[in-house]
Every structure is written in C-alpha cells, then in structure tokens.
C-alpha cells in the first residue's frame, strides 16, 4: 500500500507520533468515542500515543493499514481511516472516524473511497467487512454509499467509552462492489 493517498480534497498519510494530540482532542468527544469500540472517554494523550504506536506496529506486521486523514494544504490530522485484521488470512475490516468540526462535508466517504480504491489496486478486489453500532445511522449511510451491504448478522461489542456492550450491525462489501466507487 502507498504511504500517501490523495483524493479530491484530502491527503491520507501515514500516522505520526505527533498525531496523538489530535487523536486525544477529537477522540475525547463522547459522540465520537462512543461510536468506536476502542476509544476510552476521555481519551488522554498517553492513551492516544499508545494507540498510534499500536497501529503503526500492526501496519509493520501487515495487519493494519491506518492513514491519518488531512485536508489538502493542511498537515493536521482530522481523522483516521483504516483497514485491519486479526491474522493475515482474515478478510480486511474497514474502520474510520472524523473529528466533529469536519462532519457534514463528505470527508468520511471521500477518505474511505480513497482507501478502498488503493486496497483494490494493492490486494485486488476482495470482500471487505465493517461493523457499525446500531445507533450510528450516519456511519451506516456512509458504508452503504460505498457499496457495503448489511449481512443480517448482529453482534454485541464492548465500547470502552460507553463502558458497556452495544449492538453492532455487520456489513460486507462484495469482492465486486455493487456501487461505483466514483459516485
């Protein structure tokens, strides 16, 4: 996978240690943290630093492909988009978040589309998986626009920010996407 990906308005780049400040700032927003399984609330800087070190280590092992989302012309991280798996033979799972000041601009869809196109070039078209907490309709809409389809399966996952389990809907993007990535 390339180190840097460009879309119309965004640059997706490798994570840097200094991105921990933005991760702690935006990730401490309960409305963001509760929609992830792994963000604590609040999200202290030390935890954000550890999270970035962990993601970079997973990348070196080919188990994760995380990218900092930045606006073109600005280097500050506004979110993260990631493909990850537990072991190399697993299907890749899709994850992302965007800082609240950048919501409503279509950045999540654009960043996800950019990473999906690179994944298809690098790995070939493959089934991608995603999970979304059932009380997160905005993220569900993003995934459906990207060609993900509900599998009909539901899981219960622990959310660190909520400090309890919450229902998650499972989605898959078929190896041959039904939706055009250029939409």
Around Cβ 117, how many Cβ atoms within 10 Å?
Answer: 14
For residues 55 and 57, what is the distance between their CA atoms, to the nearest angstrom?
5
Q: Single out the residue of 144, 62, 152, 149 nearest to residue 109, CA to CA.
A: 144
Length of the chain in residues, anyone?
183
Around Cβ 104, how many Cβ atoms within 10 Å?
Answer: 10
- Asked if the model's pLDDT at residue 106 lies above 70, the reply is yes
Q: pLDDT tens for residues 31-69? A: 999 999 999 999 999 999 999 999 999 999 999 999 999
Average of per-residue pLDDT values in the chain? 94
On whether the CB atoms of residues 100 and 112 are closer than 8 A, the answer is no
Q: How far from each other are the two terminal CA atoms of the chain, in whole angstroms?
A: 23
Calculate mean pLDDT across residues 83-104. 94
For residues 159 and 177, what is the distance between their CA atoms, to the nearest angstrom?
29
pLDDT at 8: 98
Q: Put residue 53 in one of left, alpha, beta given phi > 0 → left and psi -120 to 50 → alpha.
A: alpha
Rg (CA), the chain: 15
Q: pLDDT tens for residues 138-179? A: 999 999 999 999 999 999 999 999 999 999 999 999 986 544
For residues 172 and 11, what is the distance between their CA atoms, to the nearest angstrom?
25
Calculate mean pLDDT across residues 100-127. 95
pLDDT at 177: 55
For residues 174 and 172, what is the distance between their CA atoms, to the nearest angstrom?
6
Please report the domains of the chain, with CATH numbers, ordered by start residue: 4-173 (3.40.630.30)
For residues 66 and 94, what is the distance between their CA atoms, to the nearest angstrom?
10
On whether the CB atoms of residues 11 and 70 are closer than 8 A, the answer is yes
Around Cβ 83, how many Cβ atoms within 10 Å?
Answer: 26
Q: Which two tokens stand for residue 144?
A: 């459906």
pLDDT at 125: 86
């Amino acid at each position: 996978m390339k180190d840097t990906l460009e879309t119309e308005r965004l640059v997706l780049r490798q994570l840097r240690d200094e991105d921990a400040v933005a991760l702690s700032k935006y990730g401490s927003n309960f409305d963001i943290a509760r929609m992830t399984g792994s963000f604590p609330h609040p999200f202290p800087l030390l935890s954000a630093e550890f999270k970035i070190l962990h993601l970079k280590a997973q990348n070196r092992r080919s188990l994760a492909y995380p990218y900092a989302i930045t606006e073109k012309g600005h280097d500050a991280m506004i979110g993260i988009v990631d493909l990850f798996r537990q072991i190399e033979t697993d299907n890749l799972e899709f994850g992302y978040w965007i800082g609240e000041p950048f919501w409503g601009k279509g950045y999540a869809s654009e960043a996800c589309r950019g990473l999906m196109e690179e994944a298809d070039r690098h790995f070939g078209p493959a089934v991608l998986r995603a999970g979304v907490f059932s009380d997160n309709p905005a993220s569900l809409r993003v995934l459906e626009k990207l060609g993900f389809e509900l599998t009909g399966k539901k899981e219960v996952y622990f959310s660190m920010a909520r400090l309890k389990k919450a229902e998650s809907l499972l989605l898959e993007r078929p190896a041959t996407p039904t939706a055009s990535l250029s939409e």
